[in-house]
Amino acid sequence: MSFKAAAIQMCSGVDPVKNAADMARLVRDAASQGAVYVQTPEMTGAVQKDRPGLRAVLRDEAGDIIVKTAAELAKELGIYLHIGSTAIALDDGKIANRGFLFGPDGKLINRYDKIHMFDVDLDNGESWRESAVYRPGSEARITSLPFAELGFSICYDVRFPQLFRAQAVAGAQVMTVPAAFTRQTGEAHWEILLRARAIENGMFVIAAAQAGTHEDGRETFGHSMIIDPWGKVLASAGGTGEAVVIAEIDVAAVKSAHDKIPNLKNAREFSLEKIATPAAGGVAA
């Protein structure tokens, strides 16, 4: 079975109301081109590095404008709409970096909280500590859609291949990687990581990204893309500004890739032993 998928590239600002309107315009564009599955980037609702500023616009899931708008859009357009993620206020004072998947009836099918926190120190003084603000998720989920088995990740999760492998072994045919990659890390690793996850698991990868210079001063890499199980980039966007990236997903290509290179079946358990280097003139124990 094949279906048309879209990755929405955005440059979200600090105002969730404006971001919701921008999202709606781009999602309608994708649906008008025949996309039945549409994915938005990480932090669709607000890209805001100022913590008090972010908390000022936060709402819980029931009151979030992105969640409300997405449910209405999915029903209006009759599509599967995947909000890559948006910030959701939690009862314990923390925030969830949470993705949502809505069905053509507007009902919520699945939610996913980003598991791996982006706690890094990069060159030129760029430093991030997501764990200081966000509560990490602890559960991976696969959703069975009429046309594909869909797996979930968010941004930094792409650097943890065990998450992708576990979902591939469980039957995922399409993995989703909505992101807000920094320009610095994106230039170095974005495409190669996405293609590696596709190749090593024999699955499609759909990655909607934030792109450009945001209101809060952050720079994100963009280059939203859709990749097939052989590692071929089917469609991609540039590094700045909005875009609607669309490709036909032929799910039969997953089986074809697995038939050619059945590495999921060929994997074996193994032990690991660390051998000490013997001292000069000695013999290893």
What is the enclosing helix (H) or strand (E) of 184?
A: helix 183-201
Give the pLDDT band of residue 122 (cuts 50, 70, 90).
confident
> Once rounded to an integer, what is the mean pLDDT over residues 260-270?
95
Number of C-beta neighbours around residue 129 at 10 A: 12
Is residue 242 annotated as a catalytic residue, yes or no? Answer: no
The pLDDT score that the predictor gives to residue 119 is 74
Q: What share of the chain is helix, strand, coil (3-state, %, to 5)?
A: 30, 30, 40
Non-local CB neighbours of 93 within 8 Å, separated by 6+ positions: none
Is residue 11 annotated as a catalytic residue, yes or no? Answer: no
Residue 285 has pLDDT above 60, yes or no: no
Full-model pTM: 0.94
Non-local CB neighbours of 121 within 8 Å, separated by 6+ positions: 127
The pLDDT score that the predictor gives to residue 118 is 83
The pLDDT score that the predictor gives to residue 123 is 81
Non-local CB neighbours of 217 within 8 Å, separated by 6+ positions: 49
The pLDDT score that the predictor gives to residue 48 is 87
114, 130, 149, 219: which one is catalytic? 114
**CA-to-CA distance for 65 and 164, rounded, in angstroms?**
30
**CA-to-CA distance for 184 and 227, rounded, in angstroms?**
22
State the chain's mean pLDDT as an integer: 94
Three-class SS of residue 82? Answer: strand
Domains defined for the chain, CATH in brackets? 2-265 (3.60.110.10)
11, 130, 149, 155: which one is catalytic? 155
> Once rounded to an integer, what is the mean pLDDT over residues 254-274?
96
11, 42, 130, 219: which one is catalytic? 42
The one-letter code for the residue type at 47 is V
The pLDDT score that the predictor gives to residue 7 is 98
Number of C-beta neighbours around residue 3 at 10 A: 18
Best CA proximity match to 235, nearest among 7, 3, 2, 1: 7
Give me 184's structure tokens: 């610095």
Q: Are 125 and 109 in contact (CB under 8 A)?
A: no
What is the percentage of the chain residues whose pLDDT exceeds 90? 85
The 10s digit of each residue's pLDDT in 47-75 is 988 888 889 999 999 999 999 999 999 99
The 10s digit of each residue's pLDDT in 201-242 is 999 999 999 999 999 889 999 999 999 999 999 999 999 999
Is residue 42 annotated as a catalytic residue, yes or no? Answer: yes
Q: Are strands 174-176 and 204-207 parallel, antiparallel or unpaired?
A: parallel
Three-class SS of residue 254? Answer: helix
Non-local CB neighbours of 162 within 8 Å, separated by 6+ positions: none
Residue 135 has pLDDT above 70, yes or no: yes
Best CA proximity match to 2, nearest among 227, 176, 253, 257: 253
Best CA proximity match to 208, nearest among 55, 38, 51, 67: 38
Residue 125 has pLDDT above 80, yes or no: no
The 10s digit of each residue's pLDDT in 12-53 is 999 999 999 999 999 999 999 999 999 999 999 999 888 888
Angle at 5 between CA 187 and CA 46, to 5 degrees: 55
Give the pLDDT band of residue 121 (cuts 50, 70, 90).
confident
For 52-164, strand residue ranges (E) read 80-89, 95-102, 108-113, 119-121, 127-129, 142-144, 149-152
The pLDDT score that the predictor gives to residue 281 is 65
